[in-house]
Structure 1
Amino acid sequence: MLKKIISLLVVALAAHTAIAQDYVKPKAPGVTVADLQEQQSPIDSTAAAAYLYRYGNTYYILNGNYWEMVTEVFTRVKIYKKEGYDYANLELDYYSGGRKARGKFENAVTYNYQEGKIVATRAQDESAFEQELNDDYSRRTITLPNVKEGSIIEYSTKITTPYFGHLEDWYFQYDIPAVNVQYDIRIPIYFIYNVYLVGYVDVKSAEKPRLLLNTTTDTNEFFYTYKAANVKPFKDEAYVSNKENFIGKLQHELCKVQLPHQTIQNYATNWEDTSRKIFGRDAFGRELKQDSYFKDDLEALLAGIQGDEAKMQVVFKYVQNRMVWDKRHGYICEKGVKEAYKQKLGNVGDINLMLTAMLREAGLDANPVVVSTREHGVAQFPSMYSYNYVISSVKLADKTILLDATSKYTSPGILPTRALNWKGRLIKKNGDNEEIDLMPKTNSRKAITIVGTVSADGTLTGKARDHYLQQRGYGYREAYAEMNIDDYLAEFEGEYPGLEVSDYKMTGQDEPDKPLVEEYAFVHKNVAEIIGDKIYISPMLFFTEKESPFKAEKREYPVDFIYPREDRYALSITIPDGYTVASLPKALNIGMQENLGSFKYILAQNGNVVQVSAVITINYASISADYYTVLKDFYSKMIEKQNEKIVLIKA
């Protein structure tokens, strides 16, 4: 959930008379015996630790003739269990860049209750270390002393930086409970931000900011304060795309700077402005216009090729085969398309902007689409920082085909999983833009065929043939196609305890537009159980799902399946001589409302062979939390049915 809580502030507000008043930082009460003796968090009794207080305060100072931003944070943590000791190993990362920012820890102390009194142990200054992570980031680390179960630790951090175009997110929710969280920010009227609240935490704030006079800088400031109390920890449940899309936090994005006697600087305020600014960057828009480096190669490549779709396929495969991705993200070029083409190596921007330029030269309606990867999170608001990736697109008739040549295992219409993240923004030649749905709409298929025989001792032997198509094929190739076969089989057998694979063969791994096929023989000793004169067999064999991934009673965020899917199982099980079928599980055909998905399950006996057919479909890449109860019930019934047994009895 994203809520825009503050828009561009009207100029008239800045003209109001400010109140000359010093800011008073909130102060946490002292640590008490009751705090130290508390055995568990009242918010979550299973928590290993909890934030008792977390106060943040951001303000601006003048350093000579330029502004700096200061963020001070006070933190107090209660340690309940040994698993919470990691909260005493502190790291402070900050962007330092060209003009050095400063970061430090202050007043780090551990409290314990010993021999009837509160004992405080302070961290020594020499226990803090600083390191350069890279050219842009620095890190301070410190470990608090004498931490035990029951301890309370507290510390303060301070970061001073000249970089305030993109404020660090302020979190109201964490992996552990938070009793009191507050964030105050004072912003000089010269700097206008858009502010967004993400997640489902009940954050209290005034409808309008207060206007104060900072007597130190002699500047009017907008003062905002945000508070949350008794916040439950964020539970990282199954099928969550990226918790950063849903965890409770506050985000700021600079949209205007209006310093006295200077020209107004407008930053991105909407998607149209953002798109034009991206297109206007030399490493984006200008790179798309370069074509001399590939013209001769492209002319030879397209000789005799007829039709737009055929041209798209040929150009895509050429770039995909020629170029090697250096694993670096970014929607702008790093080497530049000409140099990348020459070296046959580049980042995402180099490769996919090159692809777009070549598709255009081939006469196709091609445009780049900027994307935020799944790891980066959903692009919540208009900003160039919201994106970190770019793909290509081609308009064919009434369809827009998405392409990404950074992977050797994609094909037109099949994107890498990292790029399947809600919406992208198509940027046209003139800088105009269009929102593009990145999520697949067609079910990606997995089809498994088993022909097996169960012996009188319960051992299953047989042969399998598995097909993986569309996104399933891509994912399988990306994960396993280049893995050593022995390592792959060890991992495969480990996924299904008791399985022994032989005569393994894979085909189609180098043909992304065709199914990936696995064939193998197997022996499995854990699919049947012998009790007296009966044998109990799991109809789905070693593919039986044992428990539902959906255990929580309620869910606040969508269930992310990444792409729609269909799993088909055709299993043929020959029973041992001397046995007959005593009972088979009954068929089941269930579907969810709104065509969210279905489960069709049929068993039939033909002589000494039991045939099992199962089809599981999920028809949407993402299912709203509004349907969580429906989905949970669906999985419960499906798994219950899968775990019913075929019962054989001696004749």
Structure 2
Amino acid sequence: MKQNHLFLLLLFTSLSVFSQTNNKEASYRTNLKELNMKVYEKDSTANALVLYEYGNSYVDQRDYDLITEKKFKIKLLNREGFDNATVTVHLYNNERRSEKIEEIIATTYSLVNGNVETTKLSKENIFKERYNENYTLVKFTLPNIKEGSVITYSYKLISPFMYKYHGWEFQGDIPKLYSEYNTSIPANWTYNIKLVGAKKLTTNTSDIKKNCLSVSGGGHSDCAISKYVMKDIPAFIEEDYMTSESNYLSRIDYELMTFKGFDGSIYNYTKTWEAVDKELKTDPNIGKQLYKSISVEDLLSKTIIDEQDELKKANAIYKYVQEEYTWNEEYKIFKDVSVKDLIKNKSGNISSINILLHNLLKSCKINVKPVLLSTRENGLPTKIYPVISDFNYLIVQATINDKTYLLDATDKFLSFGQIPFKCLNQYGRLLDLKNGSKWIDIKPEKSSAVQYKATLSLNKTGNITGTVTSKRTDYYALKHKKSFKNEENYLKNLEDNNPNIEITNHNVTRNESHPDFLENYDVKYLYDNAGNNIYINPFFIKLFKENPFKLQERTYPIDFGYESTYYYIMHIDYDEGYTVLEKPKDLNIALPNNTGQFIFSSTISNNSLNMLMRISIKESLFPSEYYPYLKAFFNKIIESQNNSVIVLQKT
């Protein structure tokens, strides 16, 4: 599906004024109205509110550092919002230079007995600490905060790194009334400017300032002056079925493309994929490892080597790597990659294990290529130009009998052709270091399914007993295989989640060659009765505990990762001494454009009742416009689970 939350603003391509804004209502100074505010009307759940924030980035005329001035004004509505009074600033450094922070000014304003109390931050309460080799943290906490306080703070950042032009986050975890960012960029530097997120800019203006930057000898440059404003920005709230919030937070990012010196020299910072492919080909952690020769006779059994069926051979090689080598929990896909060390130590990082798999398959004449991707939590890699740091995972694509399989041997519970759920992040980069790399879709070919069949019997004495069989495929099977590692906890959770039944004779079919998770057990149903009537909730096993969608509005896509199908079949035989007084109503509900369906039906025949629920989610990724439909769709499912009833009367 097309992503409408991301578009590119190319610097200097348009100088039109898209909209104007009146800035009179936005101010860094606080007032009595703000101090008296008790709740934010547009979001009564907000614990704090950004009243005003302002940024201004420009190049210093004297030493050509990037200067960024920032100002913030925040209302602390209650104690739960106090963490917004602690500020952390990340300062970047490399081996030669570092960013600096100056002019930190912070003040707390509170109403005390009708009077405004002002408390300023002292320099002694500003702290520095080394975070890692590339970042130092500067921290401070606003003093004397109270419920209802308004805090203001400002500072100036000085950076020698023009390739790291400061972006701006319009959206955060608390709502904002007003957010403004101003930039001045000399024509020497050309950036890709990317606006991310669903929120629209209230103001987006550009202009040219002549001769804004000059150097000795008469060289000078014009500057692009831009102003970006957003108003009434809702808090970003995480919910189920989403990837990294970095894909959706409303913000502006900058990526340096080229620098043009006053002497006419040009430096290109953004590479092409053709150039990256050439670099990866000779990279010691990728290319050289991919071309490392492997003695298959030293690693694989003669049975595997002599196997003539290509798919069976690939399966056997995959199982060998999966079972013999252990992932050390390190990603490091471009660092410390060594097939030789992996074979020696039996343990290694993501790339080492999957490159060994690649090389063994290739040595056995199977068509394979590595695939770079970014995990769901890491965010989507940009497609506009190569950014190798966007990727944090490597898998293998094998093509056998004109069918492609994505493989990852780092997880011992995965089946052939299955990759971890964390890798289902829409697309990846297939590396063909001879013919050129390309983007491919990362999407399971088939739906993952959950199937339940309950066969029950109501006898003359009023006991309801029977059996339950279940089957889970693909990603549902993977999840339960991992859960079943601790069988005792698994059974306890099964009983806790199904309080209306007593479970005995639990059994899981274990078959290493079978990718599904098969389960069966005997049950005794514990029902309510009133007089001669027996009340049965047919969903004594719940497919869903609750509706995963609770937000009033969701501005980012719903990403399930894979398509899903659920079946719930119940058959109950009852003695001739009973009649059915009531059964659930039939339902047939569909999502727009036939992207999902919920069917619920029941029939009575020959002293038995048959019931079927079928739920199908036919897309793995839905745009945010589908959110109200999905929310209503799941509401109906939950309502049917919780409120359906079968009433039998003893005659």
TM range (shorter): 0.7 to 0.9
- 1:77 is displaced (CA, Å) by 0.9
- 1:575 is displaced (CA, Å) by 5.5
Q: 1:184 maps to which residue?
A: 182
Q: What do you get for the CA RMSD once the two structures are aligned? A: 3.4
CA contact (8 A) 1:420 1:438 kept: yes
Task: Tell me, in whole angstroms, the C-alpha distance in 2 between the residues paired with 1:529 and 1:544.
Answer: 22
Q: 1:650 maps to which residue?
A: 650
Which one of 412, 419, 425 corresponds to residue 416 of structure 2? Answer: 412
Give the partner amino acid of 2:520: E
Look up the SS of the partner of 1:379 in the other structure: coil
Task: Tell me, in whole angstroms, the C-alpha distance in 2 between the residues paired with 1:533 and 1:128.
Answer: 75
Alpha-carbon displacement from aligned partner over 1:253-293 (angstroms, at most 9, x marks no partner):
22223334585332335555555554553321222111246
Give the partner amino acid of 1:473: A
Look up the SS of the partner of 1:131 in the other structure: strand
Give the partner amino acid of 1:433: S
CA contact (8 A) 2:28 2:72 kept: no
Look up the SS of the partner of 1:581 in the other structure: strand
Gaps spanning 5+ residues in structure 2: where? 16-24
CA contact (8 A) 2:26 2:178 kept: no
Q: 2:432 maps to which residue?
A: 428
Task: Tell me, in whole angstroms, the C-alpha distance in 1 between the residues paired with 2:630 and 2:388.
Answer: 36
Look up the SS of the partner of 1:375 in the other structure: helix
Which one of 101, 106, 110 corresponds to residue 108 of structure 1? Answer: 106
- 1:561 is displaced (CA, Å) by 1.6
- 1:424 is displaced (CA, Å) by 0.7
- 1:44 is displaced (CA, Å) by 2.1
Q: 2:10 maps to which residue?
A: 7
Matched, 1:393 2:397: yes
Give the partner amino acid of 1:120: T
Q: 1:618 maps to which residue?
A: 617
Q: 2:77 maps to which residue?
A: 80
CA contact (8 A) 1:403 1:412 kept: yes
TM-aligned CA distance change 1:200 to 1:430, over 3 Å: same
- 1:126 is displaced (CA, Å) by 3.1
Give the partner amino acid of 2:134: D
TM-aligned CA distance change 1:298 to 1:228, over 3 Å: same
Structure 1 length-normalised TM: 0.87
Q: 2:586 maps to which residue?
A: 587
- 1:412 is displaced (CA, Å) by 2.8
Structure 2 length-normalised TM: 0.87
- 1:501 is displaced (CA, Å) by 4.6
Task: Tell me, in whole angstroms, the C-alpha distance in 2 between the residues paired with 1:256 and 1:78.
Answer: 41
CA contact (8 A) 1:179 1:229 kept: yes
TM-aligned CA distance change 1:513 to 1:80, over 3 Å: same
Task: Tell me, in whole angstroms, the C-alpha distance in 1 between the residues paired with 2:632 and 2:375.
Answer: 31
CA contact (8 A) 1:41 1:177 kept: no
Give the partner amino acid of 1:516: F
CA contact (8 A) 1:212 1:222 kept: no
CA contact (8 A) 1:441 1:621 kept: no
Task: Tell me, in whole angstroms, the C-alpha distance in 1 between the residues paired with 2:168 and 2:69.
Answer: 12
TM-aligned CA distance change 1:107 to 1:300, over 3 Å: farther
Alpha-carbon displacement from aligned partner over 1:217-260 (angstroms, at most 9, x marks no partner):
98634333211112122233442233322221111122223334
Task: Tell me, in whole angstroms, the C-alpha distance in 2 between the residues paired with 1:301 and 1:208.
Answer: 71
Output aligned runs, 1:373-384, within 5 Å. 373-381=375-383, 382=385, 383-384=387-388
- 1:432 is displaced (CA, Å) by 0.8
Matched, 1:310 2:312: yes
TM-aligned CA distance change 1:208 to 1:200, over 3 Å: farther
Give the partner amino acid of 2:650: K
- 1:166 is displaced (CA, Å) by 4.6
Task: Tell me, in whole angstroms, the C-alpha distance in 2 between the residues paired with 1:113 and 1:613.
Answer: 62
TM-aligned CA distance change 1:71 to 1:486, over 3 Å: farther
Q: 1:23 maps to which residue?
A: none
TM-aligned CA distance change 1:228 to 1:277, over 3 Å: farther
Output aligned runs, 1:223-238, within 5 Å. 223-238=225-240
Output aligned runs, 1:160-175, within 5 Å. 160-167=158-165, 169-175=167-173
Look up the SS of the partner of 1:194 in the other structure: strand
- 1:324 is displaced (CA, Å) by 1.2
Output aligned runs, 1:326-365, within 5 Å. 326-365=328-367
- 1:70 is displaced (CA, Å) by 4.3
Alpha-carbon displacement from aligned partner over 1:343-401 (angstroms, at most 9, x marks no partner):
22222122222222222222122111111110011123422222221111012343321
Q: 1:20 maps to which residue?
A: none
Q: 1:17 maps to which residue?
A: none
Alpha-carbon displacement from aligned partner over 1:155-205 (angstroms, at most 9, x marks no partner):
234544445545564211122211111122333433321111111111232
Look up the SS of the partner of 2:375 in the other structure: coil
Give the partner amino acid of 1:366: V
Q: 2:20 maps to which residue?
A: none
Task: Tell me, in whole angstroms, the C-alpha distance in 1 between the residues paired with 2:197 and 2:409.
Answer: 34
Look up the SS of the partner of 1:631 in the other structure: helix
Look up the SS of the partner of 1:303 in the other structure: helix
Look up the SS of the partner of 1:58 in the other structure: strand
Q: 1:49 maps to which residue?
A: 48
TM-aligned CA distance change 1:302 to 1:77, over 3 Å: same
TM-aligned CA distance change 1:132 to 1:524, over 3 Å: farther
- 1:591 is displaced (CA, Å) by 3.4
